[in-house]
């Protein structure tokens, strides 16, 4: 009898021990967005985070801290690099201060699913690991070309006399079109337009309504160029600290997130219609000029990349191009 009690007590202790060991397997990752919380990117991420947390009890949780008010857009990359935050929703243009290569991802011409197959994704991660102390986790925006939005009409691809708001995405290309450029985070675009500090801005095809920029926008120049890159990145030591169960769970959810990227083509078409309805006029060129415009964007983009990081640019160009 006495022995049996002891055995039961031992079993109870072991069971409790096992329970707390299981609980200790749950990791919570802090995530900050470089884009504002009321914008489409965070709107798309929120339900994913909810799903990760609902299905990941006891394994992995994501704690969404907030947007650029928590950490300014252009400082977020360094916060991931140093481990101040575990994860970020961000674009490479916002963390060229970590590594110039960050901005090269705008030059991909193949879907992320294909990047995972042809070695591009691994090549990105080699650079992100070594230079950024980061893991490149997933691309959640695709099929969102950038455009020039302006209040000054042009009849050819020439921005002479125009002040255009940029990030590193557009700098070399817009300067080659004779624009004078001003770098700001998205959060300062409205005020810059309102005060006439800029005549226009670079932005993808979708999202200008989220912050009422359409109120201050007369023209969109077609065609678009490059592909807006918005991705999840993670501090490398934090990523390496995940156990197999956690890493496999995260990976499964990241692939599920990327599988939702078919949304963006539809969204782009809807946004074009919405811009037209809002009175934004489209500036177009003849076919030859349009092709030359797009080709020039890529030529200038890759030339800038080659200047900043020749070996990586050559490696990426072979893997990113159609």
- Chain residues binding ligand 173 by CB under 6 A are 35-36, 39-41, 68, 91, 93, 167, 169, 186-187, 202-204, 207, 210-211, 228-230
Element at 238 (helix H, strand E)? helix 236-241
Sign (positive/negative) of CA torsion 70, 75, 80, 83?
A: negative
Task: Identify which of residues 169 and 181 has a Cβ nearer to ligand 173 in the complex.
Answer: 169
Task: Identify which of residues 38 and 289 has a Cβ nearer to ligand 173 in the complex.
Answer: 38
The CA distance from 52 to 250, in Å, is 8
Strand-by-strand arrangement of the 219-225 sheet: 180-183, 163-166, 200-204, 146-150, 219-225, 281-283
Q: Which residues of 241-255 are buried (b: 16+ CB within 10 A; e: fewer)?
A: ebeeebeebbeebbe
Q: Scanning the structure block, which residue is given the tokens 């299981």?
A: 22
Residue 167 C-beta: closest distance to ligand 173, Å: 4
231 is written with which tokens? 């991705």
213 alpha carbon, distance to own chain's centre: 20
Residue 43 C-beta: closest distance to ligand 173, Å: 9
Residue closest to ligand 173, measured at CB: 39
Task: Identify which of residues 91 and 133 has a Cβ nearer to ligand 173 in the complex.
Answer: 91
Residue 42 C-beta: closest distance to ligand 173, Å: 7
Task: Identify which of residues 91 and 246 has a Cβ nearer to ligand 173 in the complex.
Answer: 91
Residue 233 C-beta: closest distance to ligand 173, Å: 13
Decide the pairing of beta strands 134-141 and 230-235: antiparallel
Task: Identify which of residues 247 and 274 has a Cβ nearer to ligand 173 in the complex.
Answer: 274
Residue 204 C-beta: closest distance to ligand 173, Å: 5
Give the three-state DSSP class for 42: helix
The CA distance from 25 to 57, in Å, is 10
Residue 152 C-beta: closest distance to ligand 173, Å: 19
Task: Identify which of residues 203 and 293 has a Cβ nearer to ligand 173 in the complex.
Answer: 203
* DSSP-assigned beta bridge partners for residue 141: 230
The CA distance from 59 to 141, in Å, is 26
């Amino acid at each position: 009898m006495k022995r049996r009690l002891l055995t039961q007590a031992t079993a109870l202790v072991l069971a409790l021990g096992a329970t707390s060991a299981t609980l200790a397997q749950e990791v919570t990752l802090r995530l900050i967005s470089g884009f504002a919380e009321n914008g489409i990117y965070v709107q798309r991420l929120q339900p994913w985070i909810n799903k990760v947390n609902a299905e990941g009890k006891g394994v992995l949780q994501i704690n969404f801290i907030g947007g650029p008010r928590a950490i300014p857009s252009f400082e977020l990359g360094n916060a991931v690099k140093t481990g101040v935050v575990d994860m970020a929703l961000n674009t490479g243009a916002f963390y060229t201060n970590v590594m110039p290569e960050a901005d090269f991802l705008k030059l991909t011409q193949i879907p992320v699913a294909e990047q995972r197959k042809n070695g591009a994704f691994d090549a990105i991660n080699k650079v992100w690991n070594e230079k950024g102390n980061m893991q490149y986790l997933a691309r959640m925006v695709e099929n969102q070309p950038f455009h020039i939005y302006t209040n000054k009409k042009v009849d050819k691809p020439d921005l002479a006399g125009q002040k255009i708001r940029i990030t590193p995405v557009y700098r070399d290309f817009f300067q080659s079109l004779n624009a004078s450029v001003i770098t700001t985070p998205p959060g300062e675009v409205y005020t810059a337009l309102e005060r006439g500090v800029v005549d226009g801005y670079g932005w993808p095809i979708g999202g200008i309504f989220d912050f009422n920029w359409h109120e201050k926008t007369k023209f969109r120049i077609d065609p678009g160029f490059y592909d807006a890159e918005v991705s999840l990145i993670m501090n490398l030591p934090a990523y390496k600290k995940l156990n197999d169960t956690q890493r496999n769970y995260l990976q499964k959810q990241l692939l599920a997130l990327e599988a939702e990227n078919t949304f963006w083509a539809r969204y782009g078409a809807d946004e074009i219609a919405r811009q037209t309805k809002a009175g934004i006029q489209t500036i177009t060129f003849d076919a030859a000029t349009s092709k030359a415009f797009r080709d020039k964007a890529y030529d200038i983009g890759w030339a800038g990349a080659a200047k900043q990081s020749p070996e990586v640019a050559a490696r990426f160009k072979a893997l990113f191009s159609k």
